A and B are shown apart, each in its own frame.
Chain A
């Protein structure tokens, strides 16, 4: 566990001193030899103690004095300068830092960051030596490729030279090589995130030559699992998740981006191209589908579907997140504070921030519910699959239409219903009602939210007791794809309708038409809360509706209050008011009359063939829907056309509602210049980030890779390479690695290869009292690193050693078992359904990542929520982790799998246990070592023998099948032992 982070503030402050003494061990040894260096020794003091009031932020600047700019610090003001090179007596700053007068001394006492005597001494020595200026260490340029030729960048031994030198200064030395088994397990876990099999480790140990190790490393780098393991690291930075975040946290199909990352890493795509495609793939000439998918990197920002939110506000939040993430991931700088005010410590002004923001402020996306713009990713073979499904659906539909037509004619002929001629029809909202041969009317044309249909009928003489309205399901005219679904309403989104009010009038020439009153009503079906009687209750806020059966035929019968006695043919007018809104109006309907009373009248009859045909359609539709649901529409970046580009204004105090001055897009001024002719857009930014003149990107990436292998970065604050970040424990080593990465074609695989081939990497992790005392956190890497495995690896490893892991790659996210009832997002109908097929046992990076409820066992082991960019995970050690590996069904099933393997291995029970332990730990295991496990097995046997039914239950919890002739008690005992093995510290640890 990260020590300084868990102590109370007081303790923490004190501990911090201890820790930083260790970090600075190397530096101190140098300091005695050659005096203070600006970037290493002086600037950190100025940053922490002076810049808050005398730094880049003009609004907080005191006495108009800047100490972050050489000319200003040395400029004479009123006859004296703060810093006079070589002259302590004349330097006003010296006078003030040594003063004890609370009104005069610097820093002032209420700032609460006093200088130590040693710091004062450092500043004095530096001024005495001429106050040579420089840049913050991470902004200093790296050696040019020409100069770097002398650095032997492809030689792993160079790493050992640097490490040896700093160890020597601290009075330490490197540890011996770790055993062959340990080294092979280590490099497997680090490069592909899985352990080797014991057989692979034995074969390697049999020939532990450097050549054989190189061969093993090269094989690992070529494995398809390499990309999966390192994608996991990148996806934390990219804040990749399968949902949109915020209140509703609905799903989004952005997983092709995850697959793109895996493939790019497996292909060892150079960082400059990897950068360019993700930041600006859409701006490349003739972008491929993959280039566009890559731009989803910055579409991983959250979007808010909460009602009443301002889309512009959340669009802006997303753009700011892109700016911050870009700077964090590539430059290792925090931009967050420059949103509201100029950075107090690093040279980023508020204007710089908004100019850089303007670069990212020109894409089409705008926090829309459909995540537009998106790219439908359908491969050729899937395209033809879809066409086939579409054909099946078409055929089923026309069969249904035929069946319905036949049934309709038959039922019309057999029924007592008569169909008066429609003489006129219109709709107040503008829809056209088209008359069909069967007397039905179909609404076409304009589709308003609300509508009133008016229909006039010539009713022949007779006595009528009731009128019937039939709603006939059909496809929307011209609709395709999912919208082609049959339904009774006009809205493609919701095929329901709401008949708010039905009125009938008798048209009599020369007088206002008298209304005809209705009595009782009945229907074959009504939606809950929307009964048919509500269509004739005189209120328009109630009505008759049919969800969730909007795809079926329905009928409503309304009795006239008094029997309608038509002496001679008469015109009646019906008005169908549909006031619910949202376009829930009827698509196709018929009106008919009967002499029978409402109780005797039939609603409609349907031949059994119709129900059968409908089933066929539903089945075909379900298949098509499932197919479409699995077809991702990936959110992508798309630049606004030139005339649509946004004007960017600064946000006063970071508040977008208070626009300030307009700014033009530009890259950060305080750093290296952009190449001639490059545009100030995302593509220009991508090129600028990986420009050979940029010292930060190479350092930041090399440090990150080092940190993933050694558990701690050379710069511990991986997220902050600015003035307030921690200093590098070995600056020369870091620069060497940065140059190695840059000059070997930005190849991640080559960088990794160089590091893991060094002797430093291969050391034993054993500690001694001396090494623990002098370098408790192994900052100087005088021994191999030992740390708890990352969340995903903890789970994947358990599945692999128990023989359960599926190696299937790519595709939609999966849902392995998780406790029920976890997903409770507001207004969100999504459900977690435990996979029963191999998706239950896939590698963890394929697990569905819901931002508001991430997979619990992963977060328990320190994975984040992926709501925002996470540069590093702080490792913890908690009881909740023990509960996961002891009781989570995934780990129980792994125990079951391991028990099965063990029980089937040959030999004595001790040999079984040795076999099991070897499967788990990879290394050879002695008989003596498994004695405690044998004792546990015997105890478990005795325990389960007393309650055999419990043994069966326990096996079941691990999905351990009890086969013919097997004893549940014995299997349960094996599983108990397996459960213990999978919880061993050595197993959970990378050593």
Chain B
């Protein structure tokens, strides 16, 4: 068998399995003809149910099957959380060496800034003895599950392009996000839920907006579906007031009957697909609110995350949410718990965005010394809870968790507004050359500290990791060959890792 035939065979066996599953469990109100058309992938024009919700074969054996990506929009300071730098602390307040400034661009730093030591204390923890900040007390407990990469670099230093780069592989708008690529490659496990779900917290959409979970040049069916925690979780999911569930069923049966008649006339398979999509919509109306209902969780699980069902944070609707941030705001914790519920229900890719990590120190609510501890308070317990919960359910081995911002923060203090240290106004500028991200779960070696930066945390000195490397590794862990996995658009074989071969799978971090 050649390569192509092998893939065909693999696809075929999955198809059979899916078909059985579907026929047994999910045939709500579908006629036999519809079902047949729905399932028959070999007839070219008979496209099955939304492609984002059919399980598809990976290109080789996957180590993880699903992803939870926790993006801290704005970019947390690695020097307060993961980078223990005694030399930096010692030289805090000195003028920054010229070599760090020559030929560099900063968003806000002007002239010669001062070195800023870490604002919080560190200790070694776990069997692996990793240095972790006092701001992450719960994370210390799960450190042996995670692989902390301290040498990530990006080539973008403004929020929107850097966010686009890490999520879509291009600093410009128009490319599919990681979640879209993964659902395109792997499909979803659950026919009643979208394959790629996005949850927001922090009161604002990340700087690059919806393009971060857009499908770019992939068909729009692969775009992330933002599930909102207030109002309809999916837009227009609720039937209007007065439309009862049984009447809605009758409406759909009537539409189905008449569309079936239309199909007899036109012979257009799109009509069959439409019938199926209306059925899926009907099932989603039940399945999505169910998956999104935190009140079904027992108290000890809510406590594990610090979640509070039904809580609506005032920060979520404020013009400037940062000044309203509270340490015990459970919005992000709720989203972490939702992520677990969604993953458990068969969603392939859950993306969380938490806004408010851009700690420049130039206006209230964005300092390293005061705001960062609040943001850590909102997220630390929830993240540790998520890892613990997945582990106790046996899901951690097949779920890849990714944590990080779009870049790091400078070892120098930002000085454009004030050059003196002032409580609540200590900040750092954008730093693309070295920062920390961590991976955990499926296929990842836990308890590993990967890479090392210089004594200031300015540049990597050992095992540098690029965004391309990370993207290649993530795809690899999911069983998708990063070099071959592509989509043809505008005459080019577009890939997540870009046109060159510079991205390398980080084999050392694989379990």
Interface size for A (C-beta < 8 A) is 111
Decide: B270 and A886 in contact? CB cutoff 8 A.
no
Q: A247-B208, A856-B235, A950-B242 are in contact. Are A877 and B254 (CB under 8 A)?
A: no
Nearest chain A residue, comparing its CB with the CB of B109:
A308
Nearest chain B residue, comparing its CB with the CB of A938:
B250
Q: A10-B57, A865-B173, A957-B240 are in contact. Are A880 and B207 (CB under 8 A)?
A: no
**Measured CA separation A886–B239 after assembly (Å):** 8
**Most B CB within 10 A of own CB, among A657, A880, A932:** A880
Task: From B241, B254, B285, give the contact of A980 (CB < 8 A).
Answer: B254
**Most A CB within 10 A of own CB, among B106, B172, B200, B355:** B172
Task: Tell whether B219 is near chain A: CB-to-CB under 8 Å.
Answer: yes
Decide: B7 and A10 in contact? CB cutoff 8 A.
yes
- A residues in contact with B243, CB < 8 Å: 954, 957, 976
Decide: A883 and B236 in contact? CB cutoff 8 A.
yes
Nearest chain B residue, comparing its CB with the CB of A657:
B105
Q: A825-B205, A957-B241 are in contact. Are A940 and B250 (CB under 8 A)?
A: yes
Task: From A246, A719, A882, A955, give the contact of B490 (CB < 8 A).
Answer: A719
**Measured CA separation A724–B494 after assembly (Å):** 13
Task: Tell whether A852 is near chain B: CB-to-CB under 8 Å.
Answer: yes
Decide: A879 and B45 in contact? CB cutoff 8 A.
no
Task: Tell whether B361 is near chain A: CB-to-CB under 8 Å.
Answer: no
Decide: A887 and B57 in contact? CB cutoff 8 A.
no
Task: Tell whether A304 is near chain B: CB-to-CB under 8 Å.
Answer: yes
Interface string of B263-294 (1 = CB under 8 A from A): 10111101101110110110011000000000
Decide: A819 and B45 in contact? CB cutoff 8 A.
no
Task: From A10, A310, A821, give the contact of B228 (CB < 8 A).
Answer: A821
**Measured CA separation A956–B210 after assembly (Å):** 32
Decide: B236 and A887 in contact? CB cutoff 8 A.
yes
Task: Tell whether A984 is near chain B: CB-to-CB under 8 Å.
Answer: yes
- A residues in contact with B184, CB < 8 Å: 6, 8
Task: Tell whether B108 is near chain A: CB-to-CB under 8 Å.
Answer: yes
Decide: B266 and A5 in contact? CB cutoff 8 A.
no
Decide: B267 and A772 in contact? CB cutoff 8 A.
yes
Shortest Cβ gap from A618 to chain B (Å): 23
Task: From B160, B261, B275, B486, give the contact of A247 (CB < 8 A).
Answer: B160
- A residues in contact with B491, CB < 8 Å: 334, 345, 717, 720, 722-725
Nearest chain B residue, comparing its CB with the CB of A863:
B220
- A residues in contact with B266, CB < 8 Å: 765-767, 786, 991
Shortest Cβ gap from A773 to chain B (Å): 9
Question: Quick check: which of A11-19, A117-125, A260-268, A630-638 contacts chain B, the rest being far away?
Answer: A11-19
Decide: B240 and A887 in contact? CB cutoff 8 A.
yes
**Measured CA separation A787–B210 after assembly (Å):** 28
Task: Tell whether B225 is near chain A: CB-to-CB under 8 Å.
Answer: yes
Decide: B254 and A985 in contact? CB cutoff 8 A.
no
- A residues in contact with B490, CB < 8 Å: 334, 336, 717, 719-720, 724
**Most B CB within 10 A of own CB, among A334, A336, A878, A979:** A878
**Measured CA separation A882–B236 after assembly (Å):** 9
Decide: A954 and B235 in contact? CB cutoff 8 A.
no
Decide: B211 and A9 in contact? CB cutoff 8 A.
no
Decide: B185 and A776 in contact? CB cutoff 8 A.
no
- A residues in contact with B254, CB < 8 Å: 932-933, 935-936, 980
Task: Tell whether A802 is near chain B: CB-to-CB under 8 Å.
Answer: no
Task: Tell whether B36 is near chain A: CB-to-CB under 8 Å.
Answer: no
- A residues in contact with B203, CB < 8 Å: 824
Q: A309-B107, A954-B243 are in contact. Are A11 and B50 (CB under 8 A)?
A: no
Interface string of B479-498 (1 = CB under 8 A from A): 00000111100111000000
9 additional contacts, CB 8 Å, given A9-B486, A10-B10, A883-B237?
Answer: A5-B219, A11-B7, A246-B207, A345-B491, A720-B490, A772-B267, A867-B211, A936-B250, A953-B241
A–B Cβ pairs within 8 angstroms, 19 of them: A1-B221, A3-B44, A6-B184, A10-B57, A14-B4, A15-B44, A247-B207, A334-B492, A777-B45, A787-B270, A852-B210, A877-B270, A880-B225, A887-B237, A936-B250, A955-B242, A957-B243, A979-B251, A986-B259
Which 7 residue pairs spanning A and B have beta carbons closest together?
A: A724-B491, A954-B242, A10-B7, A308-B107, A852-B209, A6-B51, A957-B240
Task: List A residues at the B interface (Cβ < 8 Å).
Answer: 1-3, 5-11, 13-15, 18-19, 245-247, 249, 304, 306-310, 317, 334, 336-337, 345, 657, 717, 719-720, 722-725, 765-768, 772, 776-777, 786-788, 819-821, 824-827, 829, 851-853, 856-857, 859-860, 862, 865, 867-868, 874, 876-884, 886-888, 892, 929, 932-933, 935-936, 939-940, 943-944, 947, 950-958, 972, 976, 979-980, 983-986, 988-989, 991
